[in-house]
Structure 1
């Protein structure tokens, strides 16, 4: 389901249901050494990092988008305020070609940012001047979640996309020395620490 082209509807749905905190620490996949994928001028890599960080750069041959970058530690607040509402986008010429092939038949101004002649066709414009880079970062967050566990590491990409986001996970799992599974301390009502930003020593090896 494309909703409005962003993840905002899913965030709202989770808010309506609420969260249940478990009595066990969350498990993470920690990057131990750098892995990288290169495809022409595009590349992506995962690096060791004490936290969860995304650094996404796009570079489109159109003045409307050009080179944009989104870089931030990824916390629930950052995801909610800075990424969740970033919509997918595309050039009208490309969408028309997809329509002829029977694809993207539901695409409209209600669920994507449409570009034509270096202009945004949506009457409301973009939600941020760099919404394009933010959406690519949103894609990366979703794609890397397919690892099965939140990744402790820094993910960088240049001219990346879904295919490269998948490729970096394949590359990571090919090297058993490049990662390990760790567990954060269990939550405590008083004096608990936030998971992101904890020193590496605060995580223990997963023994389950």
Structure 2
């Protein structure tokens, strides 16, 4: 299977969920083996240089996955666009933005899927590199647990645990095997969510300043406040899967394996990636020339140009 980039540049404007700032986002094609990179166009000198993505740069995980470089440059809330890039199989892209945070759009990854489809997908003259999990890797703390397991494909199983009437009415566990299920249909539309009672606390920490009913599911003490309701009966756990897929793609390569999470979040997801890379015998690099032996979970989802 070949590496992929965009066929053309595209842009979109939006607002940052936590910063509340207006953002102009530009996506550009990139050369083979350059990976996913970011650049803040509102900064100059060293701070305006291109930032190659790495799990080691995710240094703020308060309610999102945020790049923080040694020089203090921030690129926040990258998990939704990363989830879309993973779903579309994009290996190489330059992401430029003129603010400290990726725009939230509607709170899901679907607008980014549409943006990537508008750009078109271009197959490049180099083999795509996959990470294949060879042995089980686990990270846990007293209340959370995540793991990679060997699996010939890509499967995600996730459980959330909220004691609240809204969550008690829906399934809090969801499992999806991408060999037989569509990210676009089952995951992409799931929106981020938050509790009304937490808004004041979040804003006191300069978080959630751009959040509203058009870009998040808002929950009061009893019910969902959004007049249109939920997009899926179990939209909450599906969104956590969307987040996890984006967090895992910060590895920069698709992962052949199964991911299991109990109350997973950005911090522990990133810790799992760091542990994997610190244990070289836990995974191997593989390619699939002419797609021979490629697990069906990774077959192209769109026609390339």
Give the TM-score of the pair, scaled to structure 2.
0.60
**Matching of residues 107-146 of structure 1 within 5 Å:** 107-146=211-250
Counterpart selection for 2:296 from 193, 196, 203 = 196
Equivalent residues in 2 for 1:79-98, closer than 5 Å = 79-98=183-202
Given that 1:184 and 1:195 are in contact with CA atoms closer than 8 Å, whether structure 2 keeps it comes out as no
Aligned-pair distance for 1:43?
Answer: 0.4
Equivalent of 2:153 in 20, 28, 51 = 51
2:284 is the counterpart of 1:184: no
Alignment coverage as a number of residue pairs:
194
> Which residue in 2 is equivalent to 1:204?
none
Q: What value does the CA root-mean-square deviation take over the aligned residues?
A: 1.9
Aligned to 2:129: 27
Q: Find 1:162's aligned residue among 266, 269, 287.
A: 266
Cα deviation for residue 102 of structure 1 reads: 2.4
Q: Is the 8 A contact 1:28 1:183 kept in 2?
A: yes
Structure 2: distance between partners of 1:105 and 1:149 = 32
Cα deviation for residue 76 of structure 1 reads 10
How far the C-alpha of 1:90 sits from its partner, in A, is 0.5
TM-score, scaled to structure 1? 0.87
Residue 105 of structure 1 is matched in structure 2 by 209
- Number of the residue aligned with 1:38: 140
Deviations 1:65-122 (A, max 9, x none): 1451221123696111111111000001112211233221101001000000120000
Give the unaligned 5+ runs of structure 1: 199-208
